[in-house]
A and B are shown apart, each in its own frame.
Chain A
Amino acid sequence: MAGLELLSDEGYRVDGRRAGELRKVRARMGVFAQADGSAYLEQGNTKALAVVYGPHEMRGSRSKALHDRALVNCQYSMATFSTGERKRRPHGDRKSSEMTLHLKQTFEAAILTQLYPRSQIDIYVQILQADGGNYCACVNAATLATIDAGIPMRDYVCACSAGFIEDTPLADLNYVEEAAGGPQVALALLPKSDQIALLEMNSRLHEDHLEQVMEAASKACKDVYAVLDQVVRDHVHEVTTLLGE
Chain B
Amino acid sequence: MLTSRTFLKRTRAGAVMKVVREHYLREDIACGAAACEQCGQQPGEPRLEAQPSGAASSLCPAPHYLLPDTNVLLHQIDILEDPVITNVIVLQTVLQEVRKRSAPVYKRIRDVIANPEKHFYSFTNEHHRETYIEQEQGETANDRNDKAIRVAAKWYDEHLKKINNEETIQVILLTNDRNNKEKAVEEGLTAYTCEEYIKSLIANPDLVDRLACVSDEGKEIESGRIIFSEHLPLSKLQQGIKSGIYFQGTFRANRDNYLEATVWIHGDTEENKEIIIQGLKNLNRAVHEDLVAVEVLAKDQWVAPSSVVLQDEGQNEDDDENEEEKENTLKSSVSKNMLRPSGRVVGIIKRNWRPFCGMLSKSQIKEARRHLFTPADRRIPRIRIETRQSSALEGQRIIVAIDGWPRNSRYPNGHFVKNLGTAGDKETETEVLLLEHDVPHQAFSQAVLSFLPKMPWSITEEDMKVREDLRYLCVCSVDPPGCTDIDDALHCRELENGNLEVGVHIADVSHFIRPGNALDQESAKRGTTVYLCEKRIDMVPELLSSNLCSLRSNVDRFAFSCIWEMNHNAEILKTRFTKSVINSKASLTYAEAQMRIDSSSMKDDITTSLRGLNKLAKILKKRRIDNGALTLSSPEVRFHIDSETHDPIDLQTKELKETNSMVEEFMLLANISVAKKIYEEFSEYALLRKHPAPPPSNYDILVKAAKSKNLEIKTDSAKALADTLDKAESPDFPYLNTLLRILATRCMMQAVYFCSGMDNDFHHYGLASPIYTHFTSPIRRYADIIVHRLLAVAIQADSTYPELTDKHKLADLCKNLNYRHKMAQYAQRASVAFHTQLFFKNKGVVNEEAYILFVRKNAIVVLIPKYGLEGTVFFEEKDKPKPNLNYNDEVPSLTVEKTTFYTFDKVKVNIMLDASNIQHQKIRMALVEPKILGSDVPNQTTELSTNSEPEKKKKKLKK
* Interface flags, A185-205, vs B, CB<8A=1, else 0: 000000000000000000011
Q: Pick the contact of B802 from A8, A10, A174, A209 — CB < 8 Å? A: A209
Which among A15, A85, A131 has the highest number of chain B CB atoms within 10 Å?
A: A15
Q: Is the CB of B801 within 8 A of A208?
A: yes
* Chain A residues whose C-beta falls within 8 Å of the C-beta of B99 in the assembled complex: 2, 5
**A105 in the interface, Cβ–Cβ < 8 Å?**
no
Nearest to B807 among chain A residues (CB) is A204
**A45 in the interface, Cβ–Cβ < 8 Å?**
yes
* Chain B residues whose C-beta falls within 8 Å of the C-beta of A206 in the assembled complex: 800-803, 805-806
Q: Please give the distance in Å from B518's CB to the nearest CB on chain A.
A: 15
Q: Is the CB of B20 within 8 A of A15?
A: no
Q: Is the CB of A24 within 8 A of B15?
A: no
Q: Is the CB of A16 within 8 A of B26?
A: yes
**B100 in the interface, Cβ–Cβ < 8 Å?**
yes
* Chain B residues whose C-beta falls within 8 Å of the C-beta of A45 in the assembled complex: 6, 20-22
Q: Is the CB of B124 within 8 A of A9?
A: no
Tell me whether A16 and B24 are in contact in the complex, defined as CB-CB below 8 angstroms, given that A9-B113, A84-B17, A85-B17 are known contacts: yes
Q: Is the CB of B21 within 8 A of A15?
A: yes
A131 and B127 alpha carbons, distance in the complex (Å): 20
* Chain A residues whose C-beta falls within 8 Å of the C-beta of B23 in the assembled complex: 15-16
**B575 in the interface, Cβ–Cβ < 8 Å?**
no
Q: Is the CB of A84 within 8 A of B122?
A: no
* Interface flags, B3-45, vs A, CB<8A=1, else 0: 0101000000001011111111110000000000000000000
**B92 in the interface, Cβ–Cβ < 8 Å?**
yes
Q: Is the CB of A85 within 8 A of B15?
A: yes
**B103 in the interface, Cβ–Cβ < 8 Å?**
yes
Tell me whether A8 and B24 are in contact in the complex, defined as CB-CB below 8 angstroms, given that A85-B15, A206-B805 are known contacts: no
Nearest to B28 among chain A residues (CB) is A18
**B784 in the interface, Cβ–Cβ < 8 Å?**
no
**A20 in the interface, Cβ–Cβ < 8 Å?**
no
* Chain B residues whose C-beta falls within 8 Å of the C-beta of A117 in the assembled complex: none
**B126 in the interface, Cβ–Cβ < 8 Å?**
yes
**B110 in the interface, Cβ–Cβ < 8 Å?**
yes
A77 and B113 alpha carbons, distance in the complex (Å): 47
* Chain A residues whose C-beta falls within 8 Å of the C-beta of B95 in the assembled complex: 8
Residues of B within 8 A of A (CB): 2, 4, 6, 15, 17-26, 92, 95-96, 99-100, 103, 106, 110, 113-114, 122, 124, 126-127, 800-803, 805-806
Nearest to A85 among chain B residues (CB) is B17
Q: Is the CB of A23 within 8 A of B15?
A: no
A187 and B17 alpha carbons, distance in the complex (Å): 31
A205 and B803 alpha carbons, distance in the complex (Å): 10
Q: Is the CB of A8 within 8 A of B21?
A: no
Q: Write 8 A-B pairs (CB below 8 A) sorted by A numbering.
A: A8-B92, A9-B122, A12-B127, A15-B23, A16-B126, A204-B805, A206-B801, A209-B802
Q: Is the CB of A2 within 8 A of B15?
A: no
Tell me whether A84 and B19 are in contact in the complex, defined as CB-CB below 8 angstroms, given that A2-B100, A9-B113, A21-B2 are known contacts: yes
Q: Is the CB of A16 within 8 A of B25?
A: yes
Q: Is the CB of A12 within 8 A of B124?
A: yes
Q: Please give the distance in Å from A173's CB to the nearest CB on chain B.
A: 12
**A226 in the interface, Cβ–Cβ < 8 Å?**
no
A12 and B26 alpha carbons, distance in the complex (Å): 11
Size of the chain A interface, CB-CB below 8 angstroms = 26
Nearest to B113 among chain A residues (CB) is A9
Q: Please give the distance in Å from A129's CB to the nearest CB on chain B.
A: 8
A44 and B23 alpha carbons, distance in the complex (Å): 10
- A12-B127, A206-B802, A206-B805 known, 19 other contacts, Cβ within 8 Å: A1-B100, A5-B96, A5-B99, A8-B124, A9-B113, A9-B114, A9-B122, A10-B122, A10-B124, A12-B124, A23-B22, A24-B4, A24-B22, A45-B20, A84-B18, A84-B19, A131-B21, A206-B803, A209-B802
Q: Please give the distance in Å from B45's CB to the nearest CB on chain A.
A: 15
**A101 in the interface, Cβ–Cβ < 8 Å?**
no
* Chain B residues whose C-beta falls within 8 Å of the C-beta of A15 in the assembled complex: 21-24
* Chain A residues whose C-beta falls within 8 Å of the C-beta of B26 in the assembled complex: 16
* Chain B residues whose C-beta falls within 8 Å of the C-beta of A5 in the assembled complex: 96, 99
**A115 in the interface, Cβ–Cβ < 8 Å?**
no
Nearest to B806 among chain A residues (CB) is A206
* Chain A residues whose C-beta falls within 8 Å of the C-beta of B126 in the assembled complex: 16
A17 and B5 alpha carbons, distance in the complex (Å): 12
* Interface flags, A40-67, vs B, CB<8A=1, else 0: 0000110000000000000000000000
Which among B24, B800, B806 has the highest number of chain A CB atoms within 10 Å?
A: B24
A12 and B124 alpha carbons, distance in the complex (Å): 8
Q: Please give the distance in Å from A116's CB to the nearest CB on chain B.
A: 40
* Chain A residues whose C-beta falls within 8 Å of the C-beta of B2 in the assembled complex: 17, 21, 24
A5 and B92 alpha carbons, distance in the complex (Å): 12
Nearest to B24 among chain A residues (CB) is A16
Q: Please give the distance in Å from B248's CB to the nearest CB on chain A.
A: 14
* Chain A residues whose C-beta falls within 8 Å of the C-beta of B801 in the assembled complex: 206, 208
* Chain A residues whose C-beta falls within 8 Å of the C-beta of B92 in the assembled complex: 8, 10
* Chain A residues whose C-beta falls within 8 Å of the C-beta of B800 in the assembled complex: 206
The 5 closest A-B pairs by CB, nearest first: A206-B802, A16-B127, A16-B24, A15-B22, A84-B17
Tell me whether A2 and B103 are in contact in the complex, defined as CB-CB below 8 angstroms, given that A15-B23, A15-B24, A16-B24 are known contacts: yes
A244 and B805 alpha carbons, distance in the complex (Å): 62
Which among A174, A176, A206 has the highest number of chain B CB atoms within 10 Å?
A: A206
A81 and B26 alpha carbons, distance in the complex (Å): 30
Q: Please give the distance in Å from A8's CB to the nearest CB on chain B.
A: 7
Q: Please give the distance in Å from B521's CB to the nearest CB on chain A.
A: 12
* Chain B residues whose C-beta falls within 8 Å of the C-beta of A176 in the assembled complex: 21
A21 and B19 alpha carbons, distance in the complex (Å): 22
* Chain A residues whose C-beta falls within 8 Å of the C-beta of B802 in the assembled complex: 205-206, 208-209
A23 and B20 alpha carbons, distance in the complex (Å): 14
Q: Please give the distance in Å from B92's CB to the nearest CB on chain A.
A: 7
A176 and B9 alpha carbons, distance in the complex (Å): 13
Q: Is the CB of A44 within 8 A of B22?
A: yes
Which among A8, A44, A174 has the highest number of chain B CB atoms within 10 Å?
A: A8
* Chain B residues whose C-beta falls within 8 Å of the C-beta of A205 in the assembled complex: 802
Nearest to B127 among chain A residues (CB) is A16
* Chain B residues whose C-beta falls within 8 Å of the C-beta of A209 in the assembled complex: 802
Nearest to A208 among chain B residues (CB) is B802
Nearest to B26 among chain A residues (CB) is A16
* Interface flags, A210-222, vs B, CB<8A=1, else 0: 0000000000000
A14 and B18 alpha carbons, distance in the complex (Å): 18
Q: Please give the distance in Å from B348's CB to the nearest CB on chain A.
A: 15
Nearest to B102 among chain A residues (CB) is A2
* Chain A residues whose C-beta falls within 8 Å of the C-beta of B103 in the assembled complex: 2
* Chain A residues whose C-beta falls within 8 Å of the C-beta of B114 in the assembled complex: 9
A17 and B26 alpha carbons, distance in the complex (Å): 8
Q: Please give the distance in Å from A83's CB to the nearest CB on chain B.
A: 10
* Chain B residues whose C-beta falls within 8 Å of the C-beta of A10 in the assembled complex: 92, 122, 124
Q: Please give the distance in Å from B805's CB to the nearest CB on chain A.
A: 6
Nearest to A3 among chain B residues (CB) is B99
A110 and B24 alpha carbons, distance in the complex (Å): 33
* Chain A residues whose C-beta falls within 8 Å of the C-beta of B96 in the assembled complex: 5
Q: Please give the distance in Å from B462's CB to the nearest CB on chain A.
A: 22
* Chain B residues whose C-beta falls within 8 Å of the C-beta of A9 in the assembled complex: 110, 113-114, 122
Q: Is the CB of B20 within 8 A of A131?
A: yes
Which among B18, B21, B95 has the highest number of chain A CB atoms within 10 Å?
A: B21
* Chain A residues whose C-beta falls within 8 Å of the C-beta of B22 in the assembled complex: 15, 23-24, 44-45, 131, 174
A21 and B802 alpha carbons, distance in the complex (Å): 25
A236 and B181 alpha carbons, distance in the complex (Å): 59
* Chain B residues whose C-beta falls within 8 Å of the C-beta of A44 in the assembled complex: 22
* Chain B residues whose C-beta falls within 8 Å of the C-beta of A2 in the assembled complex: 99-100, 103, 106
Which among A21, A176, A208 has the highest number of chain B CB atoms within 10 Å?
A: A208
Which residues in chain A, 5-39, are within 8 Å of chain B measured between CB atoms? Answer: 5, 8-10, 12, 14-17, 21, 23-24
A205 and B806 alpha carbons, distance in the complex (Å): 9
Nearest to B122 among chain A residues (CB) is A10
Which among A14, A16, A205 has the highest number of chain B CB atoms within 10 Å?
A: A16
Which residues in chain A, 90-133, are within 8 Å of chain B measured between CB atoms? Answer: 131
Q: Please give the distance in Å from A92's CB to the nearest CB on chain B.
A: 26
